[in-house]
Amino acid sequence: MSNLLKDAQSLLKEQQFQKAETLLQSILKDDAQNGSALFTLACKYDATGEEKMAVIYYNRALEHSLSQEEHKKAFIQLGSTYRTLGDYQKAKDTLEKGKEAFPEEHVFDVFYAMVLHNINQHEEAVQLLLKKVVQTSADKGILSYQKALEFYADHLNEIWEA
């Protein structure tokens, strides 16, 4: 990673958005296919409420070389951004691609559950979240009810007669 890119990322963390963007545009002027710079610029746009611009740069970044961490984050952040823009199908498709590329990453399912909620698939959203809570929690209380929670995740609307 170049020093200029590291500087731009530092500027973003310091919320010096305009300076970061200027530096990133300079990097991209010399290397328009720099996936890391494209991804970082997308993050800048996301952080400054320019989601439509963020979408363009996340997509461009995904077309180029990214580190594994950037690749994962690009899928998550693009999917999340599509969701906030109300483009639920693109959000769902993007998060599904991310889940396929990074099946061990539970965070995709959490964002995916939000999309399911947005498209009125509430039962599926709650099921997914319950299963993720049980799979990933270290909380003793949750773990003590692991079997019950796993069972109820698949029987959310069932009523048992006494």
pLDDT digits 0-9 by tens, 29-66: 999 999 999 999 999 999 999 999 999 999 999 999 99
Residue found under tokens 């305009």: 18
- pTM confidence score: 0.92
CA 98: distance to chain centroid?
Answer: 8
Q: Which CATH class is domain 3-121?
A: mainly alpha
pLDDT digits 0-9 by tens, 118-131: 999 999 999 999 99
